[in-house]
Every structure is written in structure tokens, then in C-alpha cells.
């Protein structure tokens, strides 16, 4: 069964359907959260929170507003970003310093990518973006920086960052094609 159908059953309290949904989304959810949060123990905690939230709030999924997988991963991304932002706000400065000295985020992406067709494609497509498009997109999505922080880090005007983000995502879409 597709995630969309499963979510409807889950909203009705169907635990079997939730198990099946878990099989479909736990890998992407965990991988994404770990990519953003980094710390393994915290990643597991956030991923668990997200998966449990799927159970609790499945009824809030509205098929008219996008695919089920996109809803799930959007939720996972938000929670992951919340976690890194509050960790940063709490003054985990060494984290920030470590990241800054590591250079642009894409190098980290490149280091961490493992084999996998989708991974390979995304990487290839990220390569085709301009450096500023790529950095604007990955600093926000993979590192959880707001566009204002991205602008600051890249020493760019806010308007430029917003445009680079949009162009970057659109170009990524053209490169990856419409098929999920």
C-alpha cells in the first residue's frame, strides 16, 4: 500500500497500517534527521518523536496539500531544524565553530554520501547548481540555518539568498525530473 492510503488508516487508529507505514518512512526520516542533527543519540530521539507524531496527528494529513511522503519528511525536517536551532541558541558554540572551519556545507555532504542511486543523482544535480545556489540550499536544508543566517555566512544580501534558494530548488527539479 502507498503511504497516502496508509496514513488514512493510521488516522483511524489502525496499528498494522502504522507498522507498514513505519517500514516505508523510518529510513528516510531517520536519515534526514541524522543529516541535520548529526549527534546520533539526539537524532534517534528526534526521529522517534517524529514517528510518534505521525501516529498522533495522522488525521491532520491533507492529501490536497501534497503527497504523504512529502508531508512526513516536511514534519521530520521541521523537528530536526527545531532541534539544531535550539541547540545553537543554547550556546553550543563549539559546534558552530567546528562547522565553520569545515568550509562549505556541500563538502560535508560529499564526504557523507554513500552509494545509492538517488544519492548519486542528487549529488550530481547539486553539482550542476552554481556554488551560491548550492550553498544557499544546503546550508538551509541540511544544516538548518535560516535564510538570514545563510546570507550572513555567505556575505550576501537577503534578496540574493532568497533568489538563489528558489533558483537552486527549481534547477534541482529540472535536473532530477518530475519522477520521485
Partner 1 sequence: MTTLFRRSELHSLAAPYALDALEPHEHKRFEKHLRRCDSCAAEVRALREDAVRLAWSTAAPAPAAMRDRVLMAVRTTPQETASGEPQARARAERPQSRARRSGFSPFLIPLASTTAAAALVVAALFGVQAARTQDQLDQERAQAREIAHVLAAPDARATAGRDANGQGISVVASASERTAVVTGAGLGTPSNGRVHQLWLMLPEVKPRSLGLLDGDTPLIATGLDTNATSLAVTVEPSGGSAQPTTAPVVQLALESVGFGE
* Binding residues for partner 1 restricted to 101-120, rule: CB under 8 A: 113, 116, 118-119
Shortest Å distance, C-beta 180 to partner 1? 8
150 vs 156, beta carbon nearer partner 1: 150
Interaction of residue 170 with partner 1, rule CB under 8 A: yes
44 vs 92, beta carbon nearer partner 1: 44
Interaction of residue 32 with partner 1, rule CB under 8 A: yes
Site for partner 1 in 68-87 (CB under 8 A): 69-70, 73-74, 76-78, 81
DSSP conformation letters of the chain = --HHHHHHHHHTT-HHHHHHHHHHHHHHHHHHHHHHH--HHHHHHHHHHHHHHHHHHGGG--GGGS-HHHHHHHHHHHHHHHHHHHHHHTT-HHHHHHHHHT-SHHHHHHHH--S-HHHHHHHHHHHHS-HHHHHHHHHHHTT---HHHHHHHHT--HHHHHHHHHHHHHHHHHHH-S--
- In the set 3, 6, 29, 37, which binds partner 1 (CB under 8 A)? 29
Interaction of residue 51 with partner 1, rule CB under 8 A: yes
Query: Quick one: which of 40, 21, 19 has its CA closest to 31?
Result: 40
Size of the site for partner 1 (CB under 8 A): 75
1 vs 52, beta carbon nearer partner 1: 52
Shortest Å distance, C-beta 91 to partner 1? 19
Residue 40 CA to residue 82 CA, distance in Å, equals 16
- Location of C-alpha cell 513505519: 22
Site for partner 1 in 120-149 (CB under 8 A): 121-123, 137-138, 140-142, 144-148
- In the set 28, 96, 102, 127, which binds partner 1 (CB under 8 A)? 28
Amino acid at each position: 500500500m502507498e503511504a497516502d492510503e496508509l496514513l488514512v488508516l493510521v488516522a483511524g487508529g489502525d496499528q498494522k497500517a502504522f507498522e507498514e507505514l513505519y517500514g516505508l518512512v523510518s529510513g528516510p526520516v531517520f536519515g534526514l534527521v541524522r543529516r541535520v542533527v548529526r549527534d546520533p543519540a539526539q537524532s534517534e530521539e528526534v526521529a522517534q518523536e517524529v514517528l510518534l507524531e505521525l501516529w498522533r496527528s495522522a488525521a491532520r494529513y491533507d492529501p490536497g496539500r501534497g503527497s504523504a511522503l512529502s508531508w512526513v519528511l516536511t514534519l521530520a525536517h521541521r523537528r530536526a531544524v527545531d532541534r539544531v536551532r535550539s541547540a545553537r541558541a543554547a550556546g553550543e558554540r563549539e559546534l558552530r565553530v567546528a562547522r565553520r572551519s569545515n568550509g562549505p556545507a556541500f563538502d560535508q555532504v560529499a564526504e557523507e554520501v554513500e552509494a545509492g542511486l538517488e544519492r548519486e543523482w542528487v549529488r550530481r544535480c547539486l553539482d550542476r547548481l552554481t556554488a551560491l545556489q548550492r550553498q544557499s540550499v544546503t546550508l538551509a536544508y541540511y544544516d538548518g540555518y535560516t535564510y538570514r543566517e545563510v546570507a550572513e555566512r555567505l556575505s550576501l544580501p537577503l534578496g540574493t539568498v532568497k533568489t538563489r534558494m528558489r533558483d537552486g530548488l527549481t534547477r534541482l527539479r529540472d535536473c532530477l525530473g518530475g519522477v520521485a
